[in-house]
Amino acid sequence: MAFSIKSANKIKLQQIVYHDVRERFDLSSQLAIRAISKVSEVYKRDRSIKPGFRIDGAVVYDQRILSWKSLELVSILSINGRLKIPVIMGEYQQTGIRSG
């Protein structure tokens, strides 16, 4: 849609495609917003080409999608609901998580 309307404006894209994206891909509100943001960011890089996206492409997580329950457990919003996933990390990484 960004390519066809020649706009990388995230707000404009959200207004046009938000409900369709949620329904078509069965996404939660926040996952739909992040997907639309990804399209906007990619299209801003080069508006002369229609960008392609991989089914397993990266998605930016925010505090609504990924939350730390403890240093050993994260909760991630997925297309199948919330998943609680155990985390194992070294002391150096734990220090970064505690201070960050």
The predicted pLDDT at position 2 comes to 60
d(CA 68, CA 54): 27
Report pLDDT digits (tens) over 11-47.
Answer: 899 999 999 999 999 999 999 999 999 888 888 877 7
* Domain edges within the chain: 2-45, 66-99
The radius of gyration of the chain's CA atoms, rounded to the nearest angstrom, is 17
d(CA 50, CA 26): 24
Tokens of 92: 């150096």
pTM above 0.95, yes or no: no
